[in-house]
């Protein structure tokens, strides 16, 4: 993975932010966050997060130590707490916002707070997920990333994950990176450039290691045809997606050679429903896609019937998924709508 740090641009950021009244820390935090955010192989839209621990002057003229996480800031000291529900955590974070107009701080805010470094970078890099999300992934990662890295088994993002990270870091204070199984990577340093360099270094390590592995070929469906075009099915799908008149969806159609290879696999139903790559994906695409397999040479009318049935089954499956998993949660959970977000046809 290419390291895009530029001394010249970093200086420009410092100058620009100084004029606006912000510190060098914040300027460099914005700069490397943008370097990471721009790279689609590192973060999904809205995913990943970065932070800086710095100080700001409040209107009373006093300096306060703050943690800035993707635009939000708050004070810190929560390590001794045994348990905190997601709801309580969000409200605690909101109460401690420096600027009440800030967006809600990330669920990973505490994790940033507990790592004692000025700059903390976190991404859900494709190559890292490729290394973690495989059978034997934990041992594979231990070998790949080396002794300055701790590999952490999966814990759902939230306060308990932050506690786990705190525990791991306290035992191994020499590390400069954390690999979170089925989730992503954290790198940290007291210098913005160093934290960014570490991110690129470890993601590159993952890229090289995964490249060396032999990947299984996906058996393809051959000679498949239908009697309708994509634009004809769009209104049908939109209609089926909406459970009521207030629920309106926009469909984005995509196809490229990689997607074609994935969707035309004989076992697409099985491997595409194994679960998402990260918890971040669940928020955006739900835990599994809706797979619609039109009958051979089917007309648009026949497709309509097939799709209707597939939607009914999906909604039932989603309700079942929710009911099974809500029992595992400590707090009361509210089910989202049952419409799919990702369709494979």
The residues of the shown chain that bind Zn ion, judged by CB under 5 A, are 184
Judged by beta carbon, residue 158 or residue 340, the one nearer Zn ion is 158
Alpha helices in the chain (DSSP H): 7-19, 24-37, 86-95, 109-114, 126-132, 137-145, 159-171, 192-212, 230-241, 257-263, 268-271, 279-285, 300-326
Judged by beta carbon, residue 184 or residue 294, the one nearer Zn ion is 184
């007291």: which residue's tokens? 190
Q: Name the phi and psi angles at 33, rounded to 5.
A: -60, -40
Minimum distance, C-beta of residue 329 to Zn ion, in the bound complex (Å): 19
Minimum distance, C-beta of residue 245 to Zn ion, in the bound complex (Å): 36
- Please tell me whether residue 344 adopts helix, strand or coil conformation: strand
Minimum distance, C-beta of residue 47 to Zn ion, in the bound complex (Å): 7
Judged by beta carbon, residue 184 or residue 265, the one nearer Zn ion is 184
Q: Name the phi and psi angles at 111, rounded to 5.
A: -60, -45
Asked whether the beta carbons of 17 and 30 are under 8 A apart, the reply is yes
User: In 10 A of CB 8, how many CB atoms?
Assistant: 6
* Range 229-264 burial, b when 16+ CB lie within 10 A, else e: eeeebeebbeebbeeeeeeeeeeeeeeeeeeeeebe
Minimum distance, C-beta of residue 110 to Zn ion, in the bound complex (Å): 12
Minimum distance, C-beta of residue 133 to Zn ion, in the bound complex (Å): 14
Judged by beta carbon, residue 45 or residue 101, the one nearer Zn ion is 45
Q: In whole angstroms, what separates CA 244 from the centre of its chain?
A: 29
Minimum distance, C-beta of residue 105 to Zn ion, in the bound complex (Å): 13
**What residue number has its CB nearest to Zn ion?**
184
Asked whether the beta carbons of 152 and 182 are under 8 A apart, the reply is no
Judged by beta carbon, residue 158 or residue 184, the one nearer Zn ion is 184
Task: Measure the CA–CA gap between 79 and 157, rounded to whole angstroms.
Answer: 16
Judged by beta carbon, residue 46 or residue 235, the one nearer Zn ion is 46
Minimum distance, C-beta of residue 73 to Zn ion, in the bound complex (Å): 19
């Amino acid at each position: 993975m290419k390291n895009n740090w530029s001394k010249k641009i970093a200086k420009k950021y410092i100058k620009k932010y100084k004029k606006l009244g912000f510190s060098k820390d914040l300027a460099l935090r914005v700069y490397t966050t943008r370097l990471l955010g721009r790279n689609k192989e590192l973060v999904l839209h809205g995913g990943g997060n970065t932070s800086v621990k710095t100080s700001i002057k409040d209107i009373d003229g006093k300096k306060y130590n703050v943690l800035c996480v993707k635009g939000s800031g708050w004070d810190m000291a929560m390590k001794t707490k045994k348990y905190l529900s997601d709801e309580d955590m969000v409200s605690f974070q909101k109460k401690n916002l420096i600027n009440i107009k800030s967006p809600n701080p990330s669920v990973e805010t505490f994790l940033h707070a507990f790592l004692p470094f000025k700059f903390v970078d976190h991404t859900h890099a494709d190559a890292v997920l490729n290394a973690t999300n495989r059978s034997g992934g934990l041992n594979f990662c231990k070998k790949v990333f080396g002794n300055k890295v701790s590999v952490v088994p999966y814990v759902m993002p939230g306060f308990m994950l932050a506690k786990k990270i705190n525990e791991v870091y306290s035992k191994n204070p020499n590390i400069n990176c954390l690999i979170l199984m089925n989730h992503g990577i954290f790198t940290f340093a007291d210098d913005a450039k160093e934290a960014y360099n570490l991110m690129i270094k470890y993601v590159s390590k993952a890229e090289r290691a995964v490249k060396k592995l032999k990947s299984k070929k996906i058996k393809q469906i051959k000679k498949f045809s239908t009697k309708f075009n994509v634009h004809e099915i769009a209104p049908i799908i939109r209609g089926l997606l909406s459970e009521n008149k207030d629920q309106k969806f926009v469909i984005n159609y995509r196809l490229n050679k990689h997607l074609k290879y994935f969707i035309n696999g004989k076992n697409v139903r099985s491997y595409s429903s194994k679960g998402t790559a990260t918890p971040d994906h669940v928020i955006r695409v739900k835990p599994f896609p809706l797979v619609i397999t039109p009958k051979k040479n089917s007309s648009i009318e026949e497709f309509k019937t097939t799709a209707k049935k597939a939607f009914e089954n999906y909604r039932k499956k989603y309700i079942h998924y929710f009911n099974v998993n809500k029992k595992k949660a400590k707090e009361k959970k509210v089910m989202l709508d049952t419409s799919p977000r990702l369709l494979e046809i």
